[in-house]
Structures are given as structure tokens and as C-alpha cells.
Amino acid sequence: MTSPYRVCFVCTGNICRSPVAESVFRARLTEAGLDTLVQVDSAGTGGWHEGDGADPRAAAVLEAHGYDSDHTARQFQASWFAHLDLVVALDTGHLRDLRSLAPTPADAAKVRLLRSYDPAVPSTGDLDVPDPYYGDRAGFEECLEMVEAASEGLLITVRTAIEEAA
């Protein structure tokens, strides 16, 4: 494989859910020895927080669980589709927004919901990671749990894609 596999996690403002997902998945890749083969980042559907760090509550929950919390928010751009292999939406609103932003049907097909990779969630179940922004720390803990649960399935999918491309 000549170029790395590229994954971008996307939520609303890129300060809560997507930085948590980025940090957790980066740790899973390192544990699996795939960190040199996969590039991970995150973005928001909107640019309200561009240049900001992660929400302090998200950073605190990440750090409490041993994850890196270094982050700078940015807004997702349609031009990025050309360089990404997988765009992971944190809820169905992001999925819809990203697919409508996609320049081609092939790009739209790159967009998936994070919780669709959690084997414990039925395909007919709620696949949204709830936005913890307006709540307390418990919402950020719940977000982390959902992200961790889906990250194992996502890792399997990414590993398979890398092996097939090799």
C-alpha cells in the first residue's frame, strides 16, 4: 500500500464527539500496530469552533481514561473527499449533511455512521452518538463508551480494507 488509509470523524462543531472518536481510534490503531498505515483526523460540519481545542469536558474524560486530548477544531470541506477513504459521521444529521456535500455518489458512499460498527447495536437501533455539549460530564462519559464500543468493529473494517489494498 503506497499511501495511508485515511479516516475522518465528523460531528457538529468538532469539539466534543469527533475529537473523542479521533483520539480513541488513534489509540486502537496504535495498539493494533496499524498507526503507520492509517491517518486519522476529525472535523465539524460547521466552522463555529475552528481553531479551538476540544471542549474541556471532552478533554477531561479522554485524559481520565488515558487518551490523548490534543486537538484543534476545523470544518469539513467537500474537497477532502478526494483524499479520504472513510468519513465517519457521529449521528444521522451529520450523515445526511456529509452525503449531500459529497461531490460524487462514490464519495457519498464513503460516509458511514460510527455506531454502525458496534456489533451490540442492532441495525434497526439508534445509531446516533448523542451530543453531550449541553449536558454534564456524564454525557461525555456516555459518548466515550459508545465510541469505544464501535471502535473495535471499525478497526476490523479498516484492517480488512488495508489488507485488501496490499
pLDDT at residue 1 tops 60: no
Work out the percent of the chain whose per-residue pLDDT is above 90: 95
Per-residue pLDDT averaged across 69-85, rounded?
97
Those residues whose C-beta lies under 8 Å from the C-beta of residue 34, and which sit 6 or more positions away, are 155, 158, 159, 162
Confidence at residue 2, expressed as pLDDT on a 0 to 100 scale = 61
Q: State the residue range of the domain holding 39.
A: 5-165
- Number of domains comprising the chain: 1
Task: Give the pLDDT band (50/70/90) at residue 166.
Answer: confident
Task: Give the pLDDT band (50/70/90) at residue 124.
Answer: confident
We report the CATH number of the domain holding residue 42 as 3.40.50.2300
Q: How far apart are CA 81 and CA 75, in angstroms?
A: 13
Those residues whose C-beta lies under 8 Å from the C-beta of residue 120, and which sit 6 or more positions away, are 149
Q: pLDDT tens across 94-109, in order?
A: 999 999 999 999 999 9
Element counts in the chain: helices (H) and strands (E): 5, 4
Confidence at residue 117, expressed as pLDDT on a 0 to 100 scale = 97
Residue 125 grid coordinates: 437501533
Is-above-0.85 flag for pTM?
yes
Q: pLDDT tens across 150-165, in order?
A: 999 999 999 999 999 9
Query: Which residues are annotated as catalytic?
Result: 11, 17, 131
